[in-house]
């Protein structure tokens, strides 16, 4: 059994072919070049990559059980239409149908929002494997969210649910691109971490963070963590503040969902236990069901960049 998963992103289109265990056998990618060309051209590249994948395995497209596409934006999973994606000014774009056309009428092609697909990937073949109810939180440019309930993606009545990063945790706080102020993603994304590091560096000209990043433009998510490990007090404050906000938002999610597994991913999670242990301690101390024998397991995602491919490939599997 083979399935193909397409992870369509603002930077790259990554396509992988998986076996019945959802193991990625081969994958390949092309730059999206979203500002230089039409979506139709981008979908043509998806088709090319799909054909490359079946060639690699040495089968025909007809031997692929299904193709799935994980796309940013609001995706109608019933119709395969990207209802809205501001990153490419996409409105009601019938991506699944266009890809099918470019693949000689191939069916079935499933579609899902990328964060939702990643959540499904982690549930089926990653850190949340076997969980009936799980949340996936991706700490990247923003804070992405995916909800799996009873083994199925939950996307609300209009396919736009699970915008977990756009929940205000600091009323009237930092302005967010969504128009609100104080959204969780302003504090717990990698972008939020970098902002906090820069703010602290400007206050502390002696901080060791300046040695790692001689200009503010060079600050990245590693800067405060590396400097904190080396004992820098300013960096320790940044890490503590970042993790405090992260735990706050995660405890909110536990109180709402009490999921079996709460899976966090994204570059910051490369810190491993250094991040996971203190955050988990705070989440458990803050969550409401303190006396419950069964508690949400906080874990770090294991599929990494493959989560979108695996989740997309798994769409419609049951």
Is there binding between residue 114 and its own copies (CB under 8 A)? no
State the minimum distance, in angstroms, from the CB of residue 173 to its own copies: 7
Contacts of residue 63, Cβ cutoff 8 Å, sequence gap at least 6: 2, 54
Is there binding between residue 173 and its own copies (CB under 8 A)? yes
Is there binding between residue 245 and its own copies (CB under 8 A)? yes
Closest to its own copies by CB, 15 vs 264, is: 264
Is there binding between residue 162 and its own copies (CB under 8 A)? yes
How many residues interact with its own copies (rule CB under 8 A)? 51
Give the span between the Cα atoms of 74 and 72, in whole angstroms: 7
Is there binding between residue 156 and its own copies (CB under 8 A)? yes
> 67: closest CA among 129, 133, 8, 135?
8
* Burial track 133-165 (b if 16+ CB lie within 10 A, e otherwise): bbbbbbbbebbbbbbbeeeebbbeeebebbbbb
State the minimum distance, in angstroms, from the CB of residue 16 to its own copies: 29
Closest to its own copies by CB, 62 vs 158, is: 158
The residue within the footprint of its own copies, chosen from 54, 74, 88, 279 (CB under 8 A), is 74
Instruction: Give me the torsion for CA of 100, 105, 107, 110, rounded to 10°.
Output: 10
Tokens of 90: 């996409």
Is there binding between residue 294 and its own copies (CB under 8 A)? yes
Is there binding between residue 65 and its own copies (CB under 8 A)? no
Q: What are phi and psi of 121, to 5 degrees?
A: -60, -45
Residues binding its own copies (CB under 8 A): 74, 83-84, 91, 131-133, 145, 149, 154-164, 166-171, 173, 178-180, 182, 245, 248, 251-252, 255-260, 285-286, 288-289, 291-296
């Amino acid at each position: 059994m083979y399935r193909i998963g397409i992870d369509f992103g603002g930077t790259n289109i990554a396509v992988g072919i998986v076996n019945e265990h959802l193991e990625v056998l081969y994958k390949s990618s092309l730059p999206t070049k979203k500002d230089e060309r039409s979506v139709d051209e981008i979908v043509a590249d998806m088709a090319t990559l799909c054909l490359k994948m079946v060639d690699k395995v040495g089968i025909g497209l007809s031997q692929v059980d299904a193709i799935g596409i994980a796309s940013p934006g609001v995706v109608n999973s019933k119709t395969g239409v990207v209802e809205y994606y501001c990153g490419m000014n996409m409105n009601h774009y019938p991506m699944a149908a266009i890809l099918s056309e470019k693949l000689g009428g191939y069916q079935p092609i499933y579609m899902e929002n990328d964060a939702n697909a990643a959540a499904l990937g982690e549930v089926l073949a990653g850190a949340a494997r076997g969980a009936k109810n799980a949340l996936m939180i991706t700490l990247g440019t923003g804070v992405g969210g995916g909800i799996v309930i009873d083994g199925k993606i939950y996307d609300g009545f209009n396919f736009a649910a699970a915008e977990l990063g756009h929940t205000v945790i600091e009323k009237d706080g930092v302005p967010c691109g969504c128009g609100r102020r104080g959204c969780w993603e302003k504090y717990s994304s990698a972008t939020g971490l970098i902002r906090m590091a820069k703010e602290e560096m400007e206050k502390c000209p002696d901080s060791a963070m300046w040695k790692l990043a001689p200009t503010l433009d060079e600050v990245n998510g590693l800067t405060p963590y590396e400097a904190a490990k080396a004992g820098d007090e300013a960096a320790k404050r940044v890490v503590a503040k970042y993790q405090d906000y992260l735990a706050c938002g995660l405890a909110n999610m536990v109180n709402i969902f009490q999921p079996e597994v709460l899976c966090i991913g994204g570059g910051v999670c490369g810190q491993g236990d250094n991040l996971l242990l203190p955050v988990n301690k705070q989440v458990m101390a803050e969550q409401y069901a303190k006396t419950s024998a069964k508690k949400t397991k906080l874990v770090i995602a294991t599929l990494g960049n493959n989560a979108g491919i695996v989740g997309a490939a798994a769409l419609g599997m049951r």
